[in-house]
Amino acid sequence: ERTTFYQPTAAEGIEAAVPLRSKKWFNDEEDPGMTGIYLERYLNDGVTLGELALQNKPIIGIAQTGSDLAPCNRHHLQLAKRVRDGILAAGGTPMEFPCHPIQETGKRPTAMLDRNLSYLSLVEVLYGYPLDGIVLLTGCDKTTPALLMAAATVNIPAICLNVGPMLNGYSGDNTRLMGSGSVAWDNRALYATGQIDAAQFVQGMATSAPSIGHCNTMGTASTMNALAEALGMALPGSSAIPAAYRERGACAYATGRRIVDLVREDLKPSDILTKEAFENAIACCTAIGGSTNAPIHLNAVAKHIGVALDCDDWDRVGYELPVLVNIKPAGQYLCEEYYRAGGLPAVQAELLRNNKLPHPSAVTVSGRSVSDNVKGDVSRDRRVILDFDKPLTQKGGFINLKGNLFDSAIMKTSVIKPAFRERWLSNPDDPMAFEGPVVIFDGPEDYHARIDKTPGITEKSILIMRGAGPQGYPGAAEVVNMLPPAELIQQGIELPCIGDGRQSGTCGTPAILNASPEAADGGLLGYLKDGDVVRVDLLKRSANAELTPEEIKERRAAMPSYKGPKSQTPWQKMFRESVAQLADGMVIKEAVEFQRIAQTMPI
């Protein structure tokens, strides 16, 4: 059993490889006056932070993302105490500070809007305060990429610690596992067809969230934290430990210890977040059956560290690999079983044994390579972490589609259900292609208002969601996975969905999403009309409206492009003006110029 997350390395107790960054605040030999000004408030805290700072010990920030507003990450308020103990034990000085809250399910219009805001504010904190290293307390969906993006930009030694998934949820009669998030999608269908009432809907949701922690399915939270580990930015074996387990606290302590040595060794995000590391993470994303939000977030982290990564890389590296982890939404189990089966190291080891981990020698925060980290690991439950030769699904990654509709949109073909395949993808001459007339919705509100009242939606229709991208909705809504009208649901019919928004990682609908450019940025989705025929060929990676270039030109000239609702807050407006498309990570365009700024800081 994996009980240690960290073995002391040769660096422990040695002098730092480079002068501490915090020296510029607290040990300015030329100007003791400035040291005095910087220091006096810290001396005033009553817990000797100032004294420790003067001893030239690494100062380690703890980026706290837990709060009452961010309940998925709230357990970090406790875990941070263990992190502090670890930092102190290794000879560092902890300084904990709050991050802008990001709550996936509670923030309107979407938590995604706040990822870049949290990123920006953390960059300012990391750059402008006397921090030598940083512990990133991650968990809920957008907290992980927001913090990683900031660590990439500033490029001081950094390590991720996620809060851990919730314990398993069970149905009231204990017969079924209730996975967080996924239950909502099941219940929506049951509610729409009158099989459950509103109280049963809410009760079902509650049973799926039985403890502290982030979502216990392979939604965006579990995905992004697994990928932080796969990138090499979290201790091996850490991401899958359930929040409520004893090992989670031990891991917090080990993480606190390790960051102090990362500072001494001067092992920075730029040493770890290489193209090789991203390719390893893409391979792992397929193997775990990861969320469709992952390409957006990893492409963003890559942009901030200066690595070229796009959705073609995801298709090239990830598509052909099998899904090895049998947990919801694609599979049967939840994160407790996943952890007991070995978590990410067992998955990486399975890839490694089959020569499918692209870069085994990539370096990680443990100070060792991925292959050294996971050597000897093996699945302890083959029902949950499957044998490479007996996977949950073959070709489990994302395909990257292109055509006149958009330059990039991804699809997770592994969640296509047999009934959908039968209905849409079973033409023997053209097994992976389908076409049909479109029905268009301008944003989620339009969809909800009209889905059951719009005549002409048939079993042959393709549903289009537009105006849901980064500019259109600000932040891009998780709405592309649209249910068909209730009468089609009753017949068990699923319709293809295409859109410029996103989709929840806990949802198993085979939608074509993250379309870039979006309607609000001039994409052709904005000029489509009801009844236009769209043809998708998954094999050729193409998605086109059957319109001639002349017709497209005429439409562009005749129709104003879709702009979406008015901005309601200052940040929404600024966000819309500065944001890149989903395929480009939805980053702040101007922010990409500022790479690795700690190395060039003119204090």
Interface stretch with Mg ion, choices 324-332, 437-445, 504-512, 568-576 (CB under 5 A): 504-512
| Residue with smallest beta-carbon separation from Mg ion | 504
Three-state DSSP class for residue 384 = coil
Q: How far is the CB of 214 from ligand FES (least distance, A)?
A: 4
**Candidates 44-52, 104-112, 279-287, 320-328; binding stretch for Mg ion (CB under 5 A):** 104-112
In the chain, what's the furthest Cα-to-Cα distance? 80
* Token couple for 503: 């989709």
What residue 215 binds from Mg ion, ligand FES, none (CB within 5 to 8 A, per partner kind)?
ligand FES
Q: What is the CA radius of gyration of the chain?
A: 24
Q: Which is nearer to ligand FES, 269 or 505 (CB)?
A: 505
Tell me which amino acid residue 385 is: I
Contacts of 339 (CB under 8 A, 6+ apart): 165, 240, 241, 242, 245
- Partner that binds at residue 582, options Mg ion, ligand FES, none, CB closer than 5 to 8 Å by kind: none
DSSP state string for 531-582: T-EEEEETTTTEEEES--HHHHHHHHHHSPPP--SPP-SHHHHHHHHHBPPG
**C-beta of 504: minimal distance to Mg ion in Å?**
4
| 196 DSSP 8-state letter | S
Q: In the complex with ligand FES, which residue's Cβ is closer, 72 or 135? A: 72
Closest approach, Cβ 65 to Mg ion, in A, equals 16
Residue 504 touches which of ligand FES, Mg ion, none (Cβ within 5-8 Å per kind): Mg ion
CB of 213 to ligand FES, least distance (A): 8
In this complex, which beta carbon is closest to ligand FES, that of residue 293 or of residue 393? 293
Show the CA angle centred on residue 192, arms to residues 190 and 197, nearest 5°: 65
Mark the segment that binds Mg ion (CB under 5 A) among 228-236, 251-259, 347-355, 502-510.
502-510
The region of 23-31, 136-144, 302-310, 482-490 touching Mg ion under the rule CB under 5 A is 136-144
In the complex, least distance from residue 141 CB atom to ligand FES, rounded to whole angstroms: 6
Of residues 274 and 504, the one with the C-beta less far from Mg ion: 504
Smallest distance from ligand FES to CB 211, Å: 12
CA separation for the pair 374, 351 (Å, rounded): 11
**Which residues are at the interface with ligand FES (CB under 6 A)?**
72, 104-105, 140-141, 180-181, 214-215, 219, 221
In angstroms, rounded to a whole number, what is the distance separating the alpha carbons of residues 60 and 91? 10
Q: How far is the CB of 215 from ligand FES (least distance, A)?
A: 3
Residue 507 beta carbon to Mg ion: minimum distance, rounded to whole angstroms: 9
CA distances from 309 to 278, 413, 488 (A): 8, 21, 40
C-beta of residue 313 within 8 angstroms of C-beta of residue 278: yes
Question: Which C-beta is closer to Mg ion: that of 228 or that of 538?
Answer: 228
Contact of residue 325 among Mg ion, ligand FES, none (CB under 5-8 Å per partner type): none
In the complex with ligand FES, which residue's Cβ is closer, 140 or 547? 140
d(CA 250, CA 1): 14
Nearer to Mg ion, 22 or 504 (CB): 504
The span from the CA of 82 to the CA of 87, in Å, is 9
The CB-of-228 to Mg ion minimum distance in angstroms stands at 17
Residue count at the site for Mg ion (CB under 5 A)?
Answer: 3
Nearer CB in complex with ligand FES: 126/221? 221
The angle formed by the CA atoms of residues 180, 239 and 260, to the nearest 5 degrees, is: 140
Residue 94 vs 139, nearer CB to ligand FES: 139
Q: Which residues contact 488 (CB under 8 A, 6 or more apart)?
A: 457, 459, 495
Minimum distance of ligand FES from residue 102's CB (angstroms): 9
DSSP strand pairing (408-412 vs 512-516): antiparallel
CA angle 501, 292, 234 (to 5 degrees): 130
Q: Does 225 bind Mg ion (CB under 5 A)?
A: no
Closer by beta carbon to ligand FES, 104 or else 478: 104
Write down the number of H helices and E strands in the chain.
22, 14
Among 103, 180, 504, 516, binds Mg ion (CB under 5 A): 504
Residues near Mg ion, by CB under 5 A: 104, 141, 504
